[in-house]
Amino acid sequence: MKRYANLDEVKSNKSFKDLRKWQKERRTKVKDLSVNIEQSPDKKIQAIQENRSQTSYTWIGHSSFLIQLNGLNILTDPVYAKRMGFEKRLTEPGIALADLPEIDLVVISHGHYDHLDFPTLKNIKGDPHFFVPVGLQFLFNRKGYNKVTEMNWWDQCSIGGLTLHFVPAQHWTRRTLTDMNSSHWGGWIFQTEQETFYFVGDTGYFIGFKQIVERFSIDTVFMPIGAYEPEWFMAPAHISPEDSVKAFIELNARYFVPMHYGTFRLADDTGPEALERLKREWKKQQLPQEQLKVLLIGETVM
């Protein structure tokens, strides 16, 4: 079985001993889980259902976005699961599955359960084409999905006037006891003649950001900011809010849309903590406020 690796062979998965150490450390922390990221009071459900001409993006929660681009409806890492492991979902999805328009494309960043949820995929409206990292097509085919394109880092594919690029990330993956890193992980770039979106996926801070900016001029980046605490454990696989700002500066992008926080309790940080650290670092770096697009859950930018 082929195993995939990070750039420079950086190891981002931890040992059982490290996991026990983290669990012991976690018991000493007291976190306020009563404050969650708010739902948008002005959800544009009818507008996104009818839209086939205007660029928009809607945060469903965690790493799940509906992106409407070039007349296509795209979902990123759609996960509507009510639980993740032993933890309940902290917030409801911003747009109900039944309220989504018919989907044309689904992109998957990697195989972890908080990014690849087959019960969600089963209930998506339309007949979407799935774009997945190399190593995952067999699993999709076994589940009955045949409109699947498998891609490796730096591969590209054009569909409906849109060019998709699969780009590196620093992470790891596993769905069973025996399939550690048997499929790849990465981010997705959506490129049209007018604009370029970069969906980072799950990643630690890494040299790949500098490689990506050498190849692409990015308008909007969907950047993870959560699941970073404790940093001694999480840093290789989950970028901190401070490093996400550093990466944004390196990418020379126009807009920063934070994601991967406030939906599932995957680590010791909370959604509000991640957001507060992001805003503090943004101010420290004296970046223009209009470039930071913090969304409420279910909020749409059109």
pLDDT tens, 93-152?
A: 999 999 999 999 999 999 999 999 999 999 999 999 999 999 999 999 999 999 999 999
Domain presence at residue 218: yes
Pair of tokens at residue 6: 């990070």
Pair of tokens at residue 293: 């697009």
Domain presence at residue 245: yes
Residues 6+ away with beta carbon under 8 Å from 163:
156, 157, 190, 191, 192
Structural domain including 185 reads: 39-301
Specify the number of domains making up the chain. 1
Domain presence at residue 17: no
Domain presence at residue 238: yes
Backbone angles phi and psi of 197, in degrees to 5: -105, 145
Would you call 272 helix, strand, or coil by DSSP? helix
Domain presence at residue 121: yes
Domain presence at residue 26: no
Domain presence at residue 30: no
Strand partners for 156: 165
What pLDDT is attached to residue 147?
Answer: 97
- For the full predicted model, state whether its pTM sits above 0.95: yes
What pLDDT is attached to residue 31?
Answer: 83
Domain presence at residue 28: no
- Give the residues of the chain that fall short of pLDDT 70: none
Residues 6+ away with beta carbon under 8 Å from 176:
none
Cα–Cα distance between 156 and 137 in angstroms, integer? Answer: 16
| CATH code of residue 127 | 3.60.15.10
pLDDT tens, 181-200?
A: 999 999 999 999 999 999 99
